[in-house]
Amino acid sequence: MRTRKKHPEKALTALKIRSLKKPGRYADGNGLYLKVTESGAKRWELRTVVRGKRCDIGLGGLKLVSLAEAREQAEKYRKIARDDGDPIAEKRRAKRVVPTFTEAAESVHKDHTKAWKNAKHSDQWINTLSTYAFPVFGDRKVDQVQTPDILKALTPVWLAKPETARRVRQRIKTVLDWAKAAGFRSGDNPVDDINRALPRQPDRKGHFAALPYADVPAFIRKLHDPEPTIASLAFEFLILTAARTGEVLEAKWSEIDVDRTAWTIPANRMKAGRDHRVPLATRCVEILERAKVLAAGSDFVFPGRSNDKPMSNMVLLMMVRRLKVDCTVHGFRSAFRDWASERTNFARDICEAALAHIVKDKTEAAYRRGDLLEKRRELMTTWAAFATAAGAEIIPLRHLSS
């Protein structure tokens, strides 16, 4: 009977390795081999079974990996295989270069840019990290960023600029979540515990300051004093359409259907992420006709100083300040909604649709397929008539003598 050979156990020695010249595979034991090539080069290989399949895993050349190191690596990968892991995938992860926090943030920014609705948000996202996070721990490897680093970055602005600080915190969290998903980090996200170490911020301010709807007609008249400009036309158009600032300033002529007196805002500029049709009252059409002349061939309805770029939202903000009115640009949407509730009998869903608000009830949303355009047209025509009404002339009455 043939006797089974005993499996080798640490069969190779440094002296024996130096004497090996003939090409072939020389077993050390436990699946570890030294392979000698025709050229005389020598490299280590581990033969093992990974999830039921035989695999050969290269461990490096003899010049870089000693016998002791090869045995250590072999034992490590065999253990991973025994635990139903994948030593090959583990080896690939080990070879990956861990990026710095700055490099990771730039990767996240690049990946997310296409999903964001406007370039301004994209710029703000990376710029806030560049200002507040990168100087503190931007050059640190992303797997080494810990709670003390984040605390050091947020503390100077946590109370001074609370809204900015909250955004920076969220963006740091996003980068570290990405790093974990990409295999560069493990464990919990250190941002999750940061609030315990930071002081309580003051209560957030309420809604956007809005002008009472009764004052809107007078505000519009002041807008065009002494004469209409592209900026004042944009502001009035924003008020009469109850649209958001970015939606108006980035409007293009290709979105305007003059024949159907409608403006279709594409989904990528809408907060709800879907196309929104806006019915245009007669006054809105007049504004567009005047803007067409002032736009001088620009693709944008309300271009900025350069015809190839939209107007900055700061222009509208400065107009509010110039007129010394205590409200925000966005607050005119609230003025419209208050007017619709208090001065009209239009149904709530029509008013909400005019503001492009999402139907929160999922069942109702599933059955509502139309956008109530014609009903909204009547609403917006009524709003335009109210908002552009001339001030009533008050005639004092002479007291009758008794």
Tens of pLDDT along 193-239?
Answer: 887 888 887 655 545 577 889 999 999 999 988 888 999 999 999 99
- pLDDT (tens digit per residue) in 326-352: 888 888 999 999 999 999 999 998 999
The Cα–Cα gap between 280 and 288 comes to: 10
Q: What is the mean pLDDT of residues 274-299?
A: 92
The residue extents of the domains of the chain are 14-95, 101-197, 213-387
Burial 321-334 (b: 16+ CB within 10 A, else e): eeeebebbbbbbbb
pLDDT range class, residue 305, cuts 50, 70, 90: confident
Q: What is the pLDDT of residues 377-392, one digit of tens each?
A: 999 999 999 999 875 4
Distance CA 181, CA 108 (A): 12
Report residue 364's pLDDT band, with 50, 70 and 90 as the boundaries.
very low
| Tokens read off for 377 | 């047209």
Nearest partner of 146 among 191, 199, 195, 196, judged by Cα: 191
How much is the pLDDT for 152?
93
Q: How far apart are CA 31 and CA 77, in angstroms?
A: 11
Determine the pLDDT at residue 357.
83
pLDDT at 84: 83
8 A C-beta contact, residue 357 and residue 348: no
Domain 101-197 falls under CATH 3.60.15.10 = no
CATH code for residues 14-95: 3.30.160.390
The percentage of residues in the chain with a pLDDT greater than 70, rounded to a whole number, is 88
Residue with token string 């009252």: 281
Residue 262 contacts by C-beta under 8 Å, 6 or more apart in sequence?
256, 277, 278, 279, 280, 373
Q: Is 262 left (phi over 0), alpha (psi -120 to 50) or beta?
A: beta
Q: Which CATH number fits domain 213-387: 3.90.1150.10, 3.40.50.300, 3.30.160.100, 1.10.443.10?
A: 1.10.443.10
Mean pLDDT of 69-84: 87
157-196, pLDDT tens digit by residue? 888 888 888 899 999 999 999 998 888 888 889 998 887 8
Q: With left for phi above 0 and alpha for psi between -120 and 50, is residue 184 left, alpha or beta?
A: alpha
Residue 6's pLDDT band, with cuts at 50, 70 and 90, is low
pTM over 0.85: no
